[in-house]
Each structure stands twice: as structure tokens, then as C-alpha cells.
Structure 1
Amino acid sequence: MSFLPLDEYQRKWIFTHQSMPVPEEDLAYIKPMTAQRAAQFWKDNISAQSPDSERLSSQDWPSRKGTWAKTINWMPEWESDEEALPAEILEHLDWQDDVTVYFCYEKYNIIETKWSIFKRHWKNFLFYDDGPILLGRRRKQALWFHTNGTVSLGQHSQ
């Protein structure tokens, strides 16, 4: 099995918290990878050596010069009553709603979902903002969220 049932996911509460509950029909599209599958995905798409984004080496694509074109502040939108992602992110990721995306918290903690689900519930995903990277299947654009409330917009080069 490649995915954990959401009920077994250690951070399930970020999607069921009473202040921002994700509707049941959308929960079905939030699929945490098993530790083994997440580790393989991380190795293939982020880093073969580093377990999280804080310890990436200079050889890992997120650390390479020229990867990130722009950094913007996402925190004001996250704290507001506005539900939409910041406009700059939506402009950078002009993906169709059915694109599969991977929200990579760290080597053993990756969630697969659809772009439409991430867009609708991005605030839930960012309850943990400890350096997650968002990738899209067969897409070059990438996002790297930082704990200081900024996000880097760039290109995945691996």
C-alpha cells in the first residue's frame, strides 16, 4: 500500500480542526504517503541525502543558485478571512485543477492531493510551515514555504 488511511496520519488534525474543517468529500483526496513511499519520493524528487529542507546540500536542486525567481509573503493571506492563495502563487502555478500535487513536509511526510484541493485548503496544509516544498506531477514550477511566512517561487530542475 502506498498511502496511509487519513485516520492513521499523525497530522490528521490539521484537516479536521474545528476552526477549519475540510469537508468529507475533499478529505478523500488528501492522501498521506506511507513512510517508505514518501522516502523514495523525497529521494527521487528533493534530495538523496537530506531528510528535510533545513539540511539540504548545495547539490540538491532547491539549494542551487537560480532555482528560485521570487520570494513573496504568504502570511497575511493565511491570517486573513480570504480563502484564496496569494495571487502571485496562482500566477506562478497556472495548473489545471486535476493536476496531482505533492506537499513535501520532509522525507517521511508527504501528502499527495489534487491542485484544486490544495488551493481550497492551503491554510490547513500550512499549519506546519517548517519548510515544505510543493511539486506538481510532470510540472516544472515549484514552491518552497518558509517558517518566516514567505514562499519562494521557482522551477524544479531535477
Structure 2
Amino acid sequence: MDAKLIPVEISDFREYFEGSGQEIYLLAEDSAADVWEKNIDPKASSYFSLPDHSWIVDGKLTLLGNWLEPFNAGEKKDISSLMKDNFQWSDECTVGYFIKKKLVFQTTWLKFRENWDDFLSIEDDCCLLCPIDEDFEEAILFRAIGDFLKIDKFI
């Protein structure tokens, strides 16, 4: 196992993933920072410090729906289906859930869709989800107001 991948079952975040933590990892801080710099921005430390010229700020935003009501009702399936319908990533695609520069989770696209509510339980204020170490043209932005948006990287 890669020493930079910490299974969530043995991390401080294990309580969020009880029973679903296999194949979900917390990146060690140095690895998280590297992945953030490569995929999100080399200088910003969070969504809120992104420069105006960032691909995230400049990208085309499309509202996909509201995750808060299904989250509160414990209904995961509709949001999972909505994500699958709007992103053509393979189920095995490695994705990152970017909370901030030194706090990034890694899993597969399928595992994220199955457990999206666990990730949002940790943090829901402008977290980003996108493939890691692959060329990608889109990402997901989750906002604390309960909605989520598709970001098209290239307009």
C-alpha cells in the first residue's frame, strides 16, 4: 500500500465512513498538497483563496441539483444517479474530494457516488470533486447552501 494513502478506517475521519470506508483514503498532507497543486491551483490553499483566473472560477457553471434535502432524508440514490448521468467518468476512475490544500480524500468514482453523503458530512462548503492524475474537463462543486454544480473546465 502507498504510504501516502491512509485508509479512512484508521484515520481521524473513520466515524464518517462506518461500514463504507474500504477503498476510501485520506491523503497524507504532503501528498494532498501535491495533488491540490496539480489539479486545483498551485498557490491557493482553499476554494476561497482561488484567484479570479482559476479554471474553477472561470469555468462554466451548471446547476445540477440540490443535495441537502436527500442528505437530510437519508436518500442517496437520486443524487448518485444524477452525478452518474452528468459525468462520464468510469466507475474505476480515481477521484479526489478536495476540501482544502492539505485535506484531500481519494477513492473511485463509484465509491464516491455510493458514499457522497459521508464526504459531505465532513465538509460541504465549496468542496471540489474531480479525477486525480488524469486529464479532465469537468469537476463538481458542492456548496453549503445545499446545491452542487458542474464546472466545465474549458468553455
- 1:83-102 alignment, distance < 5 Å: 83-86=76-79, 87-102=81-96
The reply on whether 1:112 has 2:106 as its aligned counterpart is: yes
- Cross-structure match for 2:153: 156
Distance 1:30 1:5 in 2: 6
Give the corresponding residue for 2:131.
136
1:38 corresponds in structure 2 to: 32
Question: Is 1:10 paired with 2:5?
Answer: no
Distance in 2 separating the partners of 1:106 and 1:152: 18
Give ranges in structure 2 of 5+ residues lacking alignment. Answer: none
User: Are 1:47 and 2:47 counterparts?
Assistant: no
Query: What 5-or-longer segments of structure 1 have no aligned partner?
Result: none
| Aligned partners of 2:129 and 2:141 also within 8 Å | yes
Deviations 1:11-51 (A, max 9, x none): 222112xxxx42xxxx2300111100100111111112211
User: Which stretch shows the higher mean deviation, 27-36 or 130-139?
Assistant: 130-139
SS of aligned partner of 2:115: helix
Q: Is the 8 A contact 1:92 1:141 kept in 2?
A: no
* Deviation (angstroms), 1:85: 4.5
Counterpart code for 1:47: D
Corresponding letter in the other structure for 2:35: F
CA positional deviation for 1:125: 0.6
Cα distance change, pair 83–7 in 1 and its aligned pair in 2 (3 A): closer
- What is the alpha-carbon distance in structure 2 between the residues aligned to residue 102 and residue 144 of structure 1? 12
2:9 touches 2:22 (CA, 8 Å); kept in 1?
no
Q: How many residues align?
A: 148
Root mean square deviation of aligned Cα: 1.8
1:118 and 1:104 map into 2 onto residues whose CA distance is 12
Which amino acid in structure 2 is aligned with residue 130 of structure 1? Answer: D
Deviation at 1:77, TM superposition (A): 1.6
- For 2:55 and 2:43, the matched residues in 1 are separated by 12
